[in-house]
């Protein structure tokens, strides 16, 4: 929830920041790119830190990093200061996503793992709604700076977690193996986790498949998520109030989609639910673009919100169970955050299509991305290859 809210705080405050700092549209837009770049780098190093220092320690310190970094945004007085603080806070945000999912995957029993992680992923959508409420209450009265000051609150959670939550047994055992030299992962000359991943042909191939899947998933997700409000306003003629109401409806359906995807994946399997969610989203985007009307758009957005939340409800468990504990954090963090290139490219791609053809055409391209991200795991990535509960 904290992650999702943090991302949306910038979106809601960007107009005020642009006016106060006298930013150009390019400079204002670059703050989003800086955020994604920081999250990608933070996610890669966060995965490494999980394997090196522990899951709980990494979660705790990354919460501290992004909370303080986000609160500092309220003290900035120039584009450069804001960009630097945003980059630092985004490092923590990206690392937290990987660390938190890895920790939960190893703590929760196999029988309920995807249900738990699907519910965890739903927190992002809850965060979107929380940010909407906070922005409405704080921005008009106190201004954008106080909106970022609220981000200091999660530090309390980090301190409590650091003191009261032990490391997962699978990580403790993997650490003991590395230190004793009893694992193949440790040679006479200790090799890095990335060297171990790319030195093993099977693991390397799996890593590449996951990086591609993550790239196409984020290309489709962030492209639609960033441009859907504009699509509703410009190409469907909605006013701002109606647009926000429709978006809240879509986000609410997404919460349900992620939670139910987790439950279904524990019963039907990770691969099947992930693929069905991605392919269902790919099929439904053209229906929205080509067949919407004032009478049908509400239920279409609700169905779409449900569908495009499904892959994210399964993604964390599916990825975590694809790699051994000794380099799980590095592999998941590396593959997912290499895929963030898709997240960075998608908004620009739809912007290009919007200027040349239409936003709707851009959504059709996003549908193609969802199709590919569903096909790759359906054909090439087996589920439950390494169960954290049995390692």
Query: Over the stretch 98-133, which tens digit does the pLDDT of each residue have?
Result: 888 778 777 777 676 667 766 766 667 777 778 877
Answer with the residue of higher pLDDT: 179 or 327: 327
The confidence score (pLDDT) of residue 295 equals 81
Among 2-11, 76-85, 194-203, 349-358, which stretch is predicted with the lowest mean pLDDT? Answer: 2-11
Give per-residue pLDDT as tens, 337-346.
888 888 778 7
Could you report the per-residue pLDDT of 206-243, keeping only the tens digit for each?
999 999 999 999 999 888 877 787 788 777 877 766 77
pTM of the model: 0.74
How far, in Å, CA of 321 to CA of 336, rounded?
14
| 356 contacts: CB under 8 Å, gap ≥ 6 | none
Q: CATH assignment of 2-390, given 1.20.1250.20, 3.90.45.10, 1.10.230.10, 1.20.58.480?
A: 1.20.1250.20
Considering only CA atoms, which of 68, 93, 71, 76 is closest in space to residue 17? 76
CB 308 within 8 A of CB 30: no
Q: For position 189, what pLDDT does the model report?
A: 37
> Using 50, 70 and 90 to split pLDDT, how confident is the model at 386?
confident
All residues at 6 or more sequence positions from 250 whose CB lies less than 8 Å from its CB, including other chains: 228, 301, 302, 304, 305
Cα gap 14→215, rounded to integer Å: 26
Q: Give the H or E element holding residue 317.
A: helix 297-320
CA distance 47 to 57: 12
Q: What is the pLDDT of residue 31?
A: 83
- Could you read off the pLDDT of 8-60 as tens digits, one per residue? 788 778 778 888 999 886 787 778 778 888 888 888 888 788 888 888 888 88
- Whether residue 72 is predicted with pLDDT greater than 70 in this model: the reply is yes
Mean pLDDT, to the nearest integer, of 280-301?
89
Residues whose CB falls within 8 Å of the CB of residue 31, separated by 6 or more in sequence, listed in order = 10, 14, 17, 82, 83, 86
Q: What percent of the chain has pLDDT over 70?
A: 88
pLDDT score of 186: 44
Does residue 71 register a pLDDT over 50? yes
Q: How far, in Å, CA of 218 to CA of 223, rounded?
A: 8
Number of H helices, E strands in the chain: 16, 0
Q: What percent of the chain has pLDDT over 90?
A: 24
Total number of residues shown for the chain: 391
């Amino acid at each position: 929830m904290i992650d999702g809210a943090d991302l949306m705080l910038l979106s809601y405050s960007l107009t005020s920041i642009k006016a106060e700092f006298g930013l150009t549209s390019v400079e204002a837009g670059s703050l989003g790119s800086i955020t994604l770049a920081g999250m990608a780098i933070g996610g890669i190093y966060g995965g490494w830190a999980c394997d090196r220092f522990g899951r709980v320690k990494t979660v705790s310190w990354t919460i501290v990093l992004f909370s303080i970094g986000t609160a500092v945004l309220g003290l900035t007085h120039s584009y450069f200061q804001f960009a630097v603080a945003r980059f630092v806070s985004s490092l923590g945000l990206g690392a937290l996503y990987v660390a938190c999912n890895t920790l939960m995957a190893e703590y929760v029993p196999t029988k309920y793992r995807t249900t738990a992680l699907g519910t965890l992923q739903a927190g992002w959508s809850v965060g979107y709604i929380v940010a909407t409420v906070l922005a409405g209450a704080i921005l008009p009265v106190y201004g954008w700076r106080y909106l970022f000051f609220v981000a200091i609150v999660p530090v309390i959670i980090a301190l409590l977690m650091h003191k009261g939550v032990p490391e997962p047994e699978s990580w403790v055992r993997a650490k003991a193996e590395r230190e004793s030299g009893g694992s193949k992962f440790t040679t006479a000359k200790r090799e890095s986790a990335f060297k171990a991943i790319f030195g093993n042909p099977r693991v390397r191939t799996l890593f590449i498949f996951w990086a591609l899947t993550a790239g196409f998933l984020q290309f489709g997700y962030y492209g639609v998520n960033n441009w859907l409000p504009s699509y509703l306003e410009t190409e469907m003629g909605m006013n701002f109030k109606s647009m926000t109401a429709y978006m809240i409806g879509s986000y609410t359906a997404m919460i349900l989609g992620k939670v139910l995807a987790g439950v279904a994946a524990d019963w039907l399997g990770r691969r099947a639910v992930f693929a069905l969610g991605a392919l269902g989203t790919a099929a439904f985007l053209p229906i929205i673009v080509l067949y919407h009307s004032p009478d049908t758009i509400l239920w279409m957005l609700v169905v779409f919100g449900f569908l495009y939340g499904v892959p994210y409800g399964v993604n964390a468990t599916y990825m975590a169970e694809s790699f051994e504990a000794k380099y799980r954090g590095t592999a998941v963090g590396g593959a997912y955050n290499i895929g963030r290139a898709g997240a960075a490219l998608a908004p620009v791609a739809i912007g290009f299509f919007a200027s040349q053809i239409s936003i709707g055409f851009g959504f059709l391209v996003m549908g193609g991305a969802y199709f590919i991200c569903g096909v790759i795991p359906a054909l090439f990535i087996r589920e439950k290859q390494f169960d954290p509960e049995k390692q």
